[in-house]
């Protein structure tokens, strides 16, 4: 792998090129190469200033995450930053693309930063359960003050060049195409005129006001308590930034290093790093490579302007792809389009979109009541309600009107895609595109590969997902595909425990304590019991609640009663119904108590279902199942997903606990053969096959 090429010297300015595709991560050999080039430039009398310039699509995107967990090879990143701090000649970082994490920290240790107009800088370590470990927590506050530093580092957001300039994080912004020339001109000016700009480490001005406000740190933690819940990195970041304010630079750095070492050894960071790589791994399909021809999607048809259809449409509008939106009545069409407009306008009110952008997106919709208007679309997505008859009818009609080469997709969440495909004469063009509600927000897209779906169609769907900002996970055909099938046992156990007299608030609390945003019953109430509660074959509490008009939060009453601030509280009506349904179904009181017991009951069946999904080949790999849970069901990212979590708990322990549960609760708890085999072999889901 190429790392650094030899520097060139232009009129006394050494240009050190860094080249480690694809994102110039600071691997050991890049660090060694940079160290050697810096030493050379420092000692070369002809060199009066130095520029760090990256090849390829971006400046350095951070430390090389693949090296985490292995012994560090010298020089370390902090060593390099110290070398830059002590540089006898001015060093300029020329930034294009994204200067992230250790990459931005390296740039901050340089004397100057010249950024291309489209560049962004940021410290995204928090997303990996870490803090910036190469001086970021000490240098950024010295430039922007503690409060802004806390906001930037705990959010991990990418700061655009213009904002970075106004904050003082970069010194100048130049045209993209002229970065090298402008950086050279900048360096030559410094050589010619000199500069008395202090090193970042020596600056104290931005921090002087913070020294009198020690309460700002507790206030920041309190104001963000909800967002930080369960994560370990934010508290460490706050501590490190506090050290920047209260301690001399070297001591602050030592504090940062200590906190970084602690975080990197934490299970939360291991889980978040697992999710980072799992997300990227999910895009790989063994029999599809970069050479597999994909279809260029320039226009999309969406059938159904309801909640799902509208959300799906927005994804394409956001990516600038025109959508023909089809409904059966003008009223439904108008309603759907009004909802899309309302969503965009709400975003505009929050300042995240301009009024002009709202109009640009709305202009990309072509409303239609006529199926033949979809004839020329490259991709047609059906998003009507879950009825096999309705869906096969639509696909048979699409087969008649769509031109050859159009991808026909269904958003079905549990129907057999192969039956839907069989309604057409071209099953190789049929694929499942299963979006999660709200479809414009949730990042998961299950791409469902039917028995005959062609490779070109799968390749197109996987690439399209990235274009519209989704993470695609490939699924085979089965009831519920990956995410819904995986999570169904959690709901079944929550309801079983409810009928056995375990308080629903207790069940929900355990899930929230584990890290889910809400518990099972709170989620049902939020979605709406009338929406979920169809197709029950026996008497259920949900069915009874719907029958008495308790439809969920929207009616102020569902499993729980709600006050006008949407806070849930125990409901006598529900309590009585639970007892009645349990009696009618002959279920005796057998309350589960203790957090561990509750959690095992709720989540071990999910792990078990994951093992079955993997063994049946419905998912390509264990980490895809984790991604489906994290992105489709908000499984807490710092737990890494159900199978990563199971590996942490220990598969032998899970098998033993499940066998004990099987004795009491029956075969739902029988451990799946794959789970047993892995446990007996002392292996984990995450081990390479």
Binding ligand 3HC (rule: CB under 6 A), the pick from 7, 17, 30, 62 is 62
User: Which part of the chain contacts ligand 3HC (CB under 6 A), choosing from 100-108, 137-145, 301-309, 448-456?
Assistant: 100-108
What are the tokens at 277?
């790589």
Minimum CB separation from ligand 3HC for residue 684, in Å?
Answer: 21
The CB density around residue 181, as the number of other CB atoms within 10 Å, is 11
Q: What is the x/- site pattern for ligand 3HC, positions 161-200, by CB under 6 A?
A: ----------------------------------------
Q: Toward ligand 3HC, which CB reaches closer, 100 or 474?
A: 100
Binding ligand 3HC (rule: CB under 6 A), the pick from 33, 90, 102, 552 is 102
- Told to check if 637 binds ligand 3HC by CB under 6 A, we report no
Bridge partners of residue 210, in order along the sequence:
none
- Told to check if 98 binds ligand 3HC by CB under 6 A, we report yes
User: Which part of the chain contacts ligand 3HC (CB under 6 A), choosing from 101-109, 199-207, 467-475, 527-535?
Assistant: 101-109
Size of the site for ligand 3HC (CB under 6 A): 24
Q: What is the x/- site pattern for ligand 3HC, positions 368-397, by CB under 6 A?
A: ------------------------------
Q: Toward ligand 3HC, which CB reaches closer, 292 or 397?
A: 292
- Told to check if 64 binds ligand 3HC by CB under 6 A, we report yes
The answer to whether residues 153 and 126 touch, using CB atoms and an 8 Å cutoff, is yes
Minimum CB separation from ligand 3HC for residue 299, in Å?
Answer: 25
Q: Toward ligand 3HC, which CB reaches closer, 81 or 308?
A: 81
Contacts of residue 520, defined as CB under 8 A and 6 or more positions apart, other chains included, come to: 490, 491, 494, 495, 507, 508, 511, 602
Minimum CB separation from ligand 3HC for residue 67, in Å?
Answer: 8
Look-up: residue for tokens 């009951």? 601
Closest CA to 623 of 198, 218, 282, 160: 282
Look-up: residue for tokens 């080249």? 19
Bridge partners of residue 467, in order along the sequence:
none
DSSP string, 220-244: HHHHTHHHHTT-SHHHHHHHHHHHH
Q: Toward ligand 3HC, which CB reaches closer, 174 or 282?
A: 282
Q: What is the x/- site pattern for ligand 3HC, positions 19-48, by CB under 6 A?
A: ---xx-x-----------------------
Write out 614-682 in H/E/C secondary structure.
HHCCCECCHHHHHHHHHHHHCCCHHHCCHHHHHHHHCHHHHHHHHHHHHHHHCHHHCCCHHHHHHHHCC
* Torsion, CA 163, CA 168, CA 172, CA 191, rounded to 10: -170
The answer to whether residues 360 and 344 touch, using CB atoms and an 8 Å cutoff, is no
What are the tokens at 129?
């359960």
User: Which part of the chain contacts ligand 3HC (CB under 6 A), choosing from 57-65, 199-207, 330-338, 566-574?
Assistant: 57-65
Out of 39, 67, 125, 615, which one is annotated catalytic?
125
Minimum CB separation from ligand 3HC for residue 672, in Å?
Answer: 29
- Told to check if 63 binds ligand 3HC by CB under 6 A, we report yes
Q: Toward ligand 3HC, which CB reaches closer, 65 or 422?
A: 65
Q: Toward ligand 3HC, which CB reaches closer, 128 or 607?
A: 128
Out of 37, 39, 105, 538, which one is annotated catalytic?
105
Sheet containing 159-160: order of strands: 98-100, 120-122, 159-160
Degrees, nearest 5: CA angle 131-135-140:
85
Minimum CB separation from ligand 3HC for residue 77, in Å?
Answer: 5
**How far is it, in rounded angstroms, from Cα 407 to Cα 657?**
46
The answer to whether residues 645 and 514 touch, using CB atoms and an 8 Å cutoff, is no
What are the tokens at 413?
């969440």
The answer to whether residues 207 and 142 touch, using CB atoms and an 8 Å cutoff, is yes
**How far is it, in rounded angstroms, from Cα 398 to Cα 373?**
11
Binding ligand 3HC (rule: CB under 6 A), the pick from 20, 50, 116, 125 is 125
Q: Toward ligand 3HC, which CB reaches closer, 31 or 48?
A: 31
Q: Is 538 annotated in the active site?
A: no
Q: Is 105 annotated in the active site?
A: yes
Minimum CB separation from ligand 3HC for residue 377, in Å?
Answer: 27
Q: Toward ligand 3HC, which CB reaches closer, 128 or 183?
A: 128
User: Which part of the chain contacts ligand 3HC (CB under 6 A), choosing from 55-63, 79-87, 143-151, 547-555?
Assistant: 55-63
Binding ligand 3HC (rule: CB under 6 A), the pick from 30, 77, 232, 523 is 77
Question: In a 10 Å sphere around its CB, with 0-12 CB exposed, 13-18 middle and 19+ buried, how is residue 130 labelled?
Answer: buried
Degrees, nearest 5: CA angle 98-100-101:
175
- Told to check if 489 binds ligand 3HC by CB under 6 A, we report no
What are the tokens at 305?
């302007």
**How far is it, in rounded angstroms, from Cα 630 to Cα 582?**
33
Minimum CB separation from ligand 3HC for residue 462, in Å?
Answer: 13
Q: Toward ligand 3HC, which CB reaches closer, 119 or 384?
A: 119
Minimum CB separation from ligand 3HC for residue 277, in Å?
Answer: 6
- Told to check if 280 binds ligand 3HC by CB under 6 A, we report yes
Q: What is the x/- site pattern for ligand 3HC, positions 135-164, by CB under 6 A?
A: -x----------------------------
Minimum CB separation from ligand 3HC for residue 122, in Å?
Answer: 8
Minimum CB separation from ligand 3HC for residue 627, in Å?
Answer: 13
DSSP string, 83-96: HHHT-SS-EEEEE-
Binding ligand 3HC (rule: CB under 6 A), the pick from 106, 107, 119, 134 is 134
φ, ψ of residue 92 to 5 degrees: the values are -115, 130
CB environment 430-443: b (16+ within 10 A), e (fewer): bbbbbbbeebbebe
- Told to check if 61 binds ligand 3HC by CB under 6 A, we report yes
Binding ligand 3HC (rule: CB under 6 A), the pick from 17, 90, 101, 605 is 101
Degrees, nearest 5: CA angle 303-305-309:
70
**How far is it, in rounded angstroms, from Cα 94 to Cα 51?**
7
φ, ψ of residue 151 to 5 degrees: the values are -65, -45
DSSP string, 102-164: HHHHHHHHSSEEEEETT-EEE-GGGGGT---TTTHHHHHHHHH-HHHHHHHHHH-PPEEHHHH
**How far is it, in rounded angstroms, from Cα 105 to Cα 20?**
17
Catalytic residue ranges: 105, 125
Please report, as ranges, the residues that interact with ligand 3HC according to CB under 6 A. Answer: 22-23, 25, 61-66, 77, 98, 100-102, 105, 124-125, 128, 130, 132-134, 136, 280
């Amino acid at each position: 792998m190429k790392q650094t090429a030899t520097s060139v010297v232009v009129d006394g300015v050494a240009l050190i090129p860094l080249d480690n595709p694809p994102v110039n991560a600071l691997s050991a050999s890049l660090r060694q190469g940079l160290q050697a080039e810096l030493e050379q430039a420092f000692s070369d009398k002809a060199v009066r200033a130095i520029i760090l310039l990256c090849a390829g699509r971006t400046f350095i995107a951070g430390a090389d995450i693949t090296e985490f967990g292995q012994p560090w090879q010298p020089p370390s990143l902090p060593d390099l930053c110290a070398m830059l701090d002590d540089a006898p000649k001015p060093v300029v970082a020329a930034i294009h693309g994204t200067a992230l994490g250790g990459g931005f920290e390296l740039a901050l240790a340089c004397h100057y930063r010249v950024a291309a107009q489209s560049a962004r800088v940021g410290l995204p370590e928090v997303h990996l359960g870490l803090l910036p470990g190469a001086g970021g927590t000490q240098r950024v506050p010295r430039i922007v003050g503690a409060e802004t530093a806390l906001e930037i580092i705990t959010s991990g957001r990418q700061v655009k060049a213009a904002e970075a300039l106004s904050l003082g994080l970069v010194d100048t912004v130049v045209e993209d195409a002229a970065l090298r020339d402008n950086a050279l001109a900048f360096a030559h000016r410094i050589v010619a005129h000199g500069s008395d700009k202090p090193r970042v480490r020596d600056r104290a001005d931005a921090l002087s006001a913070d020294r009198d406000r020690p309460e700002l740190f507790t206030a920041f933690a309190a104001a963000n308590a909800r967002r930080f819940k369960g994560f370990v990195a934010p508290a460490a970041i706050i501590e490190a930034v506090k050290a920047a304010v209260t301690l001399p630079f070297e001591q602050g750095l030592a504090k940062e290093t200590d906190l970084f070492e602690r975080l990197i050894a934490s299970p939360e960071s291991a889980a978040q790093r697992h999710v980072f790589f799992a997300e990227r791994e999910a895009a790989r399909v063994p029999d599809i490579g970069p050479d597999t021809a994909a279809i260029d999607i320039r226009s999309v048809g969406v059938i159904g302007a309801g909640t799902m259809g509208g959300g799906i449409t927005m994804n394409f509008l956001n990516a600038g792809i025109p959508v023909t939106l089809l409904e059966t009545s003008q009223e439904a069409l108008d309603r759907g389009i009004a909802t899309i407009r309302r969503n965009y306008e709400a975003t505009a009110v929050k300042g995240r979109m301009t009024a002009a952008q709202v109009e640009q997106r709305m202009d990309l919709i072509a409303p239609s009541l006529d199926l033949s208007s979809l004839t020329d679309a490259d991709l047609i997505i059906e998003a009507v309600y879950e009825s096999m008859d309705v869906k096969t009818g639509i696909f048979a009609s699409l087969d008649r009107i769509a031109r050859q080469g159009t991808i026909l997709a269904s958003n079905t969440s549990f129907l057999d895609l192969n039956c839907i495909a069989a309604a057409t004469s071209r099953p190789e063009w049929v694929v499942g595109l299963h979006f999660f509600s709200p479809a414009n927000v949730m990042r998961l897209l299950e791409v469902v590969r039917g028995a005959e779906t062609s490779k070109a169609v799968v390749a197109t769907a996987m690439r399209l997902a990235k274009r519209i900002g989704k993470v695609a996970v490939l699924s085979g055909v089965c009831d519920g595909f990956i995410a819904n099938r995986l999570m169904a046992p959690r709901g079944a156990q929550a309801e079983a425990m409810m009928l056995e007299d375990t308080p629903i608030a207790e069940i929900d609390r355990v899930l929230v304590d584990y890290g889910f945003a809400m518990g099972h019953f709170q989620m049902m109430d939020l979605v709406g019991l009338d929406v979920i509660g169809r197709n029950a074959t026996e008497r259920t509490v949900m069915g009874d609640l719907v029958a008495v008009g308790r439809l969920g939060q929207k009616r102020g009453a569902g499993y729980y009663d709600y006050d006008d601030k949407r806070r849930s509280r125990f409901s006598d009506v529900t309590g009585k119904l639970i007892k009645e349904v349990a009696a009618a179904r002959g279920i005796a009181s057998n309350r589960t108590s203790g957090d561990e017991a509750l959690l095992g009951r709720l989540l071990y069946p999910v792990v078990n279902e994951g093992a079955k999904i993997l063994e049946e080949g419905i998912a390509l790999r264990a980490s895809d199942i984790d991604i489906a849970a994290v992105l489709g069901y908000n499984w807490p990212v710092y737990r890494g997903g159900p199978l990563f979590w199971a590996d942490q708990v220990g598969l032998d322990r899970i098998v033993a606990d499940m066998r004990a549960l099987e004795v009491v609760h029956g075969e739902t708890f029988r451990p799946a053969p794959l789970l047993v085999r892995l446990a007996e072999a002392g292996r984990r889901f995450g081990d390479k096959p």
